Chain A
Amino acid sequence: MNDNLPSELSFSLIEEKVGEIWRRVLDVPEDLADATFFDLEGESISAVRLVSRIEEELGIAIEVGDIFEEDPNLESLILRVAAAAKISSAA
């Protein structure tokens, strides 16, 4: 189960993967690029799905609270995931 995790994590990989997961789970219309989770009517099951896909595809654990309490847009979620993986955006 662990072998599908990328062997090398970088900010750009996180950006790409989290972007994919965000659009897939919340099926984001094109023109709402910087809408937040609640703008996109995210409900509890989609928060759980976001967290679980990020863990499964990137091996990085963030929490459901990071979605609910912070109501991130895609960009801030990417920074949150990178922070959890201790990878700075400068890398």
Chain B
Amino acid sequence: MLRTEVPTREELVRRASELGPTLQKNAKWAEENRRIHDESIEALADAGIFKMRVPARYGGYECDTRTLVEVGAELGQADGSTSWTASVYWIPSWMTCLFPDAVQDEVFSTPNVRVCGTLSPTAMATPVAGGAVLNGQWGFVSGAWHSQWQEIVAIQAGPDHEPMPIMALVPMSDLQIFDDWDTSGLRGTGSVSTIAQNVFVPAERILPLPAILQEQYASQLNAGTPIYRAPLLPVASASSVGTVLGLAKAAKTAFLQRLPGRKITYTAYDSQSEAPLTHLQVAEASLKIDQAQFHAERLADTVDSKSEQGTQWSLEERARVRADMGAVCKLAKEAVDIFATASGGSSIYSDVAIQRISRDVQAVNLHALMHPNTNNELYGRILCGLPPNTLYI
């Protein structure tokens, strides 16, 4: 059927910014109810956010990671939790494209399908005839409430099997949700735990994780498409930084909006905007946001250009994109801290955005794959000629 071209990056960023008012309006509700509001999910679907990493043959846009960074940054300026959840869906949706084409047909038969999932191997898979049986639990499953599928990782072990991590796709209907998500930050993401009890998964919906981590993917139809040729961890990194950048920009916007007319209480400054301290704070924080922007762009451009050229990834490049992600997190948090520190006592009220932005950016900095220390150590090891101390690279 006639299909005019997919939306451009600029159009998707424009749509994301038009969603801002709706997402912002629902941010407080999402925090109080510890999940994304249905209206926000529908708005994201309307904007095509859930199609961005879906193959064109299913009506998807096959966007590159630079587009994910820019759309993520736009959504992050409206609400960190909503943006984080949208970004998280991008990653397991992309992973689905590594599975056999018949599995993709099944998953992508749902319009605007949402696939949640994590990479932590906290469940067991017992091999049985025709597949495996899952038992166990996964934490931090952002977006589970609104998903139709979960991408899981489990340790497969059996009498005549060496233990090996596997990745699988499981319908949410086969899993239970344990609502333990009551947290200090990213409350609205609904990153609950999910539980599998004797869940059978057919073999075609299972892939060995070691093969995936060496880019041995199981899709024929996607093999020639650049965005589906990239390695998993660099893709996950590029998919996650937009939100963090958006949080830092949101803090600056929120601070400058509140600045006019504010004084510095119990001091001679009738106008905070007159105080040299404020000038130093705003300049320093803005420069940190620019630096975070650089790292986010270098990360995405590295992933996109290497995918386009189909070139091999060196260990140093794999470690550097992780370091870029850690730098975005560190710089964004530092910028937010400066603005939050300068926002006065009244900024601790729950209807003032900066207190939420501050808690959200602190939470994301503790993410096991994004933590600046973890990523700097990994990069430093490789630069010093040591092997990586993780499978996840």
**A contact set with B: CB distance below 8 Å:** 1-2, 5-7, 9, 43-45, 47-49, 51-53, 55-56, 59-61, 63-65, 84-85
Query: Do A44 and B111 touch across chains, with their CB atoms under 8 A apart?
Result: no
**B contact set with A: CB distance below 8 Å:** 1-7, 11, 14-15, 18-22, 43, 45-48, 57-59, 108-109, 111
Query: Do A61 and B1 touch across chains, with their CB atoms under 8 A apart?
Result: no
Please report the C-alpha to C-alpha distance between residue A9 and residue B3 in the assembled complex, in whole angstroms: 10
Query: Do B47 and A48 touch across chains, with their CB atoms under 8 A apart?
Result: yes
Query: Do A1 and B15 touch across chains, with their CB atoms under 8 A apart?
Result: no
| Chain B residues closer than 8 Å to A7, beta-carbon distance | 1
How many residue pairs, one in A and one in B, have C-beta atoms under 8 Å apart?
67
Query: Do B2 and A59 touch across chains, with their CB atoms under 8 A apart?
Result: yes
Which of these, B1, B15, B43, B111, contacts A64 with CB under 8 Å?
A: B15
Query: Do B5 and A52 touch across chains, with their CB atoms under 8 A apart?
Result: no
Query: Do B6 and A61 touch across chains, with their CB atoms under 8 A apart?
Result: yes
A52 in contact with B46 given A2-B58, A5-B3 (CB within 8 Å):
yes
Question: Which DSSP category, helix, strand, loop or mixed, fits chain A's interface?
Answer: helix
15 new A-B pairs (CB below 8 Å) besides A56-B111, A59-B2? A1-B59, A2-B1, A2-B57, A2-B58, A5-B3, A44-B19, A44-B21, A48-B43, A48-B47, A52-B45, A53-B46, A55-B7, A63-B7, A64-B11, A85-B4
Query: Do A45 and B46 touch across chains, with their CB atoms under 8 A apart?
Result: yes
Question: In the complex, what's the smallest C-beta–C-beta distance from B38 to chain A, in angstroms?
Answer: 14
A51, A84, A85, most chain B CB atoms within 10 A: A51
Query: Do B18 and A48 touch across chains, with their CB atoms under 8 A apart?
Result: yes
Closest 4 pairs between A and B when the two form their complex, measured CB to CB: A44-B18, A1-B59, A52-B46, A5-B1
Please report the C-alpha to C-alpha distance between residue A60 and residue B59 in the assembled complex, in whole angstroms: 12
Query: Do B4 and A61 touch across chains, with their CB atoms under 8 A apart?
Result: yes
Query: Do A1 and B58 touch across chains, with their CB atoms under 8 A apart?
Result: yes
A47 in contact with B18 given A52-B47, A63-B11 (CB within 8 Å):
yes
Question: In the complex, what's the smallest C-beta–C-beta distance from B352 to chain A, in angstroms?
Answer: 23
Query: Do B4 and A60 touch across chains, with their CB atoms under 8 A apart?
Result: yes
Query: Do A45 and B4 touch across chains, with their CB atoms under 8 A apart?
Result: no
Please report the C-alpha to C-alpha distance between residue A85 and residue B3 in the assembled complex, in whole angstroms: 8
